[in-house]
């Protein structure tokens, strides 16, 4: 099958939706918003806003969704950008389908992620944050391809979005488009039905916001989760696309 299928593996409270906006604004790209979300909610019974509607809006069959992600690209576009959440990969799920996509990773400082996630949900364990799953996926992709896939850190993107997006496009073999840097504000038909609960700020945005350093303090009970998450984050961070 022709075309490139980009699986951008992120975790929660990252730049994942803004990155989806950047790719969607290209003329040659169609996007998919968290295709495994319904499966994740159905299997874990985690209580997220709009849970029942989300489960009704997507397939909860892992194999069916995996086949879709590696199948024909919608709208006959040459590029399919898939916003994938690493935490949606539950133990025992067959990941052989990732051979059929171009895997990329989006990471963010765990302290920032934990602080942001904790405003919405209890941070009960590190697997809710996706860092462990990202490092597991990285090893699998490296074993499959013999190469380190593109890894981007959210801070680097916010500091210099044009440079980092150019580097990403170069790594995955597509032309950079200036349209990736700015997009119209508002909703998108391609947004998941959970958008009203999560996408307020993205819907107001017209590009990547400038990076602002934030001082974050974590409660003592979150330090073990932070420490374990940092171990996985550092594995990816040291292999990221450099910001120079």
Question: For the segment 136-179, what is each residue's pLDDT rounded down to a tens digit?
Answer: 999 999 999 999 999 999 999 999 999 999 999 999 999 999 99
Question: For the segment 12-37, what is each residue's pLDDT rounded down to a tens digit?
Answer: 999 999 999 999 999 999 999 999 99
Q: How large is the average pLDDT for residues 127-135?
A: 95
pTM of the model: 0.96
Sign of CA dihedral 54, 60, 62, 65: negative
Give the residue carrying structure tokens 């998450």.
Answer: 229
Residue 120 above 90 pLDDT?
no
Strand ranges across the sheet with 79-85? 29-33, 79-85, 4-10, 102-107, 151-153
Give the Cα separation of 164 and 181 in Å (integer).
11
Give residue 160's domain range.
Answer: 4-237
Q: Is residue 77 part of a domain?
A: yes
Give the Cα separation of 52 and 61 in Å (integer).
15
* CATH number of the domain to which 114 belongs: 3.40.50
Q: Is residue 243 part of a domain?
A: no
Give the Cα separation of 139 and 170 in Å (integer).
22
Q: How large is the average pLDDT for residues 75-100?
A: 96
Q: Is residue 168 part of a domain?
A: yes
* 79, β-bridge pairs: 4, 29
- The SS3 of residue 15 is coil
**What pLDDT band is residue 1 in, cutting at 50, 70 and 90?**
low
Q: Is residue 244 part of a domain?
A: no
């Amino acid at each position: 099958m022709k075309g490139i299928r980009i699986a951008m593996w992120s975790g929660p409270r990252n730049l994942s939706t803004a990155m989806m906006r950047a790719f969607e604004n290209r003329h040659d790209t169609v996007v998919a918003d968290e295709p495994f979300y319904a499966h994740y909610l159905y299997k874990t019974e985690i209580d997220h806003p709009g849970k029942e509607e989300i489960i009704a809006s997507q397939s909860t069959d892992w194999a069916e969704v995996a086949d879709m992600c590696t199948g024909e690209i919608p709208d006959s576009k040459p590029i399919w950008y898939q916003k994938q959440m690493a935490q949606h990969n539950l133990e025992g799920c067959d990941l052989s389908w990732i051979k059929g996509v171009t895997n990329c990773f989006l990471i963010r400082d765990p302290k920032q992620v934990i602080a942001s996630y904790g405003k919405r949900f209890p941070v009960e364990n590190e697997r809710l944050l996706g860092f462990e799953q990202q490092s597991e996926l990285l090893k699998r992709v490296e074993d499959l391809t013999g190469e380190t896939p593109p890894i981007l850190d959210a801070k680097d993107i916010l500091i210099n979005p044009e440079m980092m997006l150019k580097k990403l496009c170069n790594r995955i073999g597509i032309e950079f488009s200036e349209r990736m840097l700015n997009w119209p504000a508002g909703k998108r038909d391609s947004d998941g039905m959970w958008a009203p609960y999560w996408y307020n700020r993205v819907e107001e945005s017209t590009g990547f916001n400038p990076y602002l350093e934030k001082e974050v303090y974590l409660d003592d009970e979150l330090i073990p989760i932070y420490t374990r998450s940092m171990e996985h984050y550092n594995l990816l961070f040291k292999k990221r696309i450099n910001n120079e």
